[in-house]
Structure 1
Amino acid sequence: MTTDISMVRWDPSVTQQEIVDDYEYDGGNSSSRLFERSRIKALADERESVQKKTFQKWVNSHLVRVNCRISDLYCDLRDGKMLIQLLEVLSGERLPRPTKGKMRIHCLENVDKALQFLKDQRVHLENMGSHDIVDGNARLSLGLIWTIILRFQIQDITIEQTENKETKSAKDALLLWCQMKTAGYHNVNVRNFTTSWRDGLAFNAIIHKHRPDLVQFEKLSKSNAIYNLNNSFNVAEDKLGLTKLLDAEDVFVDHPDEKSIITYVVTYYHYFSKMKQETVQGKRIGKVVGIAMENDRMVQEYERLTSDLLKWIEATISQLGDRRFANSLVGVQQQLAQFNNYRTVEKPPKFVEKGNLEVLLFTLQSKMRANNQKPYTPREGKMISDINKAWERLEKAEHEKELALREELIRQEKLEQLAARFNRKASMRETWLSENQRLVSQDNFGFDLAAVEAAAKKHEAIETDIFAYEEIGRAH
Structure 2
Amino acid sequence: MAQVPGEVDNMEGLPAPNNNNPAARWESPDRGWEREPPAASTAAASLFECSRIKALADEREAVQKKTFTKWVNSHLARVGCHIADLYADLRDGFVLTRLLEVLSGEQLPRPTRGRMRIHSLENVDKGPAVPEGAAVHLENVGSHDIVDGNHRLTLGLVWTIILRFQIQVIKIETEDNRETRSAKDALLLWCQMKTAGYPEVNIQNFTTSWRDGLAFNALIHRHRPDLVDFSKLTKSNANYNLQRAFRTAEQHLGLARLLDPEDVNMEAPDEKSILTYVVSFYHYFSKMKALAVEGKRIGKVLDQVLEVGKIIERYEELAAELLAWIHRTVGLISNQKFANSLSGVQQQLQAFTAYCTLEKPVKFQEKGNLEVLLFSIQSKLRACNRRLFVPREGCGIWDIDKAWGQLEKAEHEREAALRAELIRQEKLELLAQRFDHKVAMRESWLNENQRLVSQDNFGYELPAVEAAMKKHEAIEADIAAYEERVQGVAELAQALAAEGYYDARRVAAQRDSVLRQWALLTGLVGARRTRLEQNLALQKVFQEMVYMVDWMEEMQVRISIGARDDGGCQEDREAGGPCKNCQKGGDGGGKDRKGKRESQRGRERVIDIGLDERGRKRTREKDRDRDEI
TM-score (norm 1): 0.80
Q: Which residue among 9, 13, 26 is the counterpart of 2:28?
A: 13
Identity of aligned residues (%): 64
In structure 2, what is the equivalent of residue 450 of structure 1?
none
Task: Sort the Cα spacing of 1:112 and 1:120 in 2 relative to 1 into closer, same or farther, 3 A.
Answer: farther
Equivalent residue runs for 1:151-170 within 5 Å: 151-159=164-172, 164-170=177-183
Measured in 1, the distance between the counterparts of 2:118 and 2:77 equals: 28
In structure 1, what is the equivalent of residue 217 of structure 2?
204
Q: Post-superposition shift, 1:400? A: 1.3
Task: Sort the Cα spacing of 1:118 and 1:202 in 2 relative to 1 into closer, same or farther, 3 A.
Answer: farther
In structure 2, what is the equivalent of residue 325 of structure 1?
338
1:59 aligns with 2:72: yes
In structure 1, what is the equivalent of residue 259 of structure 2?
246
Q: Post-superposition shift, 1:345? A: 2.3
Q: Post-superposition shift, 1:200? A: 0.7
Q: Cα deviations across residues 408-460 of structure 1 (Å, max 9, x unaligned)?
A: 22233333344445555666677778888999999999xxxxxxxx9999999
Measured in 2, the distance between the counterparts of 1:290 and 1:120 equals: 39
Contact 2:378 2:388 in 1 (8 A): yes
In structure 2, what is the equivalent of residue 215 of structure 1?
228
**Structure 1 residue identity aligned to 2:9:** M
1:411 aligns with 2:413: no
1:377 aligns with 2:377: no
Equivalent residue runs for 1:292-331 within 5 Å: 301-331=314-344
Measured in 2, the distance between the counterparts of 1:104 and 1:442 equals: 161
Secondary structure of 2:280's partner? helix
Secondary structure of 1:168's partner? coil
Task: Sort the Cα spacing of 1:328 and 1:65 in 2 relative to 1 into closer, same or farther, 3 A.
Answer: closer
Contact 1:199 1:222 in 2 (8 A): yes
Q: Post-superposition shift, 1:256? A: 2.0
Q: Post-superposition shift, 1:389? A: 2.3
In structure 2, what is the equivalent of residue 451 of structure 1?
none
Measured in 2, the distance between the counterparts of 1:347 and 1:289 equals: 38
1:140 aligns with 2:153: yes
Q: Post-superposition shift, 1:385? A: 2.9
In structure 2, what is the equivalent of residue 259 of structure 1?
272
**Structure 2 residue identity aligned to 1:414:** K
Task: Sort the Cα spacing of 1:56 and 1:381 in 2 relative to 1 into closer, same or farther, 3 A.
Answer: closer
Measured in 2, the distance between the counterparts of 1:455 and 1:420 equals: 39
Measured in 2, the distance between the counterparts of 1:333 and 1:17 equals: 106
Q: Cα deviations across residues 46-81 of structure 1 (Å, max 9, x unaligned)?
A: 333322322232223223444444444344444444
1:96 aligns with 2:109: yes
Q: Which residue among 391, 400, 409 is the counterpart of 2:413?
A: 400
| Structure 1 stretches lacking a partner, 5+ long | 446-453
Contact 2:11 2:29 in 1 (8 A): no
Q: Post-superposition shift, 1:262? A: 0.7
**Structure 2 residue identity aligned to 1:13:** S
Q: Post-superposition shift, 1:285? A: 5.3
TM-score (norm 2): 0.63
Task: Sort the Cα spacing of 1:457 and 1:25 in 2 relative to 1 into closer, same or farther, 3 A.
Answer: farther
Task: Sort the Cα spacing of 1:86 and 1:345 in 2 relative to 1 into closer, same or farther, 3 A.
Answer: same
**Structure 1 residue identity aligned to 2:422:** L
Contact 1:4 1:170 in 2 (8 A): no
Q: Post-superposition shift, 1:128? A: 3.4
Q: Post-superposition shift, 1:245? A: 1.2
Instruction: Give the structure, 1 or 2, with the largest relative contact order (CA under 8 Å, sep 6 or more).
Output: 1
Contact 1:19 1:40 in 2 (8 A): no
Contact 1:5 1:150 in 2 (8 A): no
Measured in 2, the distance between the counterparts of 1:317 and 1:55 equals: 82
Task: Sort the Cα spacing of 1:238 and 1:440 in 2 relative to 1 into closer, same or farther, 3 A.
Answer: closer
Contact 2:101 2:107 in 1 (8 A): yes
Measured in 1, the distance between the counterparts of 2:47 and 2:171 equals: 46
Give the aligned length. Answer: 472
Contact 2:330 2:410 in 1 (8 A): yes
Measured in 2, the distance between the counterparts of 1:86 and 1:434 equals: 130
Measured in 1, the distance between the counterparts of 2:217 and 2:6 equals: 28
Q: Post-superposition shift, 1:331? A: 2.0
Q: Post-superposition shift, 1:27? A: 4.7
**Structure 2 residue identity aligned to 1:51:** Q
Moved more, 138-147 or 240-249: 138-147
Equivalent residue runs for 1:386-397 within 5 Å: 386-397=399-410
Measured in 2, the distance between the counterparts of 1:217 and 1:237 equals: 18
In structure 1, what is the equivalent of residue 208 of structure 2?
195
Task: Sort the Cα spacing of 1:30 and 1:159 in 2 relative to 1 into closer, same or farther, 3 A.
Answer: closer
Task: Sort the Cα spacing of 1:235 and 1:474 in 2 relative to 1 into closer, same or farther, 3 A.
Answer: closer
Moved more, 177-186 or 337-346: 177-186
Contact 1:199 1:229 in 2 (8 A): yes
Task: Sort the Cα spacing of 1:248 and 1:416 in 2 relative to 1 into closer, same or farther, 3 A.
Answer: same
Measured in 1, the distance between the counterparts of 2:9 and 2:301 equals: 42
Measured in 1, the distance between the counterparts of 2:315 and 2:226 equals: 45
Secondary structure of 1:87's partner? helix
Task: Sort the Cα spacing of 1:404 and 1:66 in 2 relative to 1 into closer, same or farther, 3 A.
Answer: closer
Q: Which residue among 283, 286, 290 is the counterpart of 1:270?
A: 283
Contact 2:172 2:181 in 1 (8 A): no
Contact 1:207 1:214 in 2 (8 A): yes
**Structure 1 residue identity aligned to 2:182:** S
Measured in 1, the distance between the counterparts of 2:200 and 2:127 equals: 44
Contact 1:4 1:155 in 2 (8 A): no
Equivalent residue runs for 1:58-97 within 5 Å: 58-97=71-110
Moved more, 406-415 or 115-124: 115-124
Measured in 2, the distance between the counterparts of 1:17 and 1:397 equals: 94
Q: Post-superposition shift, 1:325? A: 2.6
Q: Cα deviations across residues 108-147 of structure 1 (Å, max 9, x unaligned)?
A: 4333333444987454433333344445444433322211
RMSD: 4.3
Q: Post-superposition shift, 1:149? A: 0.4
Q: Post-superposition shift, 1:93? A: 2.4
Task: Sort the Cα spacing of 1:78 and 1:439 in 2 relative to 1 into closer, same or farther, 3 A.
Answer: closer
Contact 1:20 1:40 in 2 (8 A): no
| Structure 2 stretches lacking a partner, 5+ long | 15-26, 459-466, 492-629
Moved more, 408-417 or 164-173: 408-417
Task: Sort the Cα spacing of 1:425 and 1:68 in 2 relative to 1 into closer, same or farther, 3 A.
Answer: closer
Task: Sort the Cα spacing of 1:362 and 1:160 in 2 relative to 1 into closer, same or farther, 3 A.
Answer: farther
Measured in 2, the distance between the counterparts of 1:119 and 1:400 equals: 82
Contact 2:74 2:256 in 1 (8 A): yes
Kindly name which structure, 1 or 2, has the bigger radius of gyration based on alpha carbons: 2
Secondary structure of 2:8's partner? helix
Contact 2:206 2:274 in 1 (8 A): yes
Contact 2:171 2:181 in 1 (8 A): no
Q: Cα deviations across residues 371-409 of structure 1 (Å, max 9, x unaligned)?
A: 565544345444433332222222111111111211222
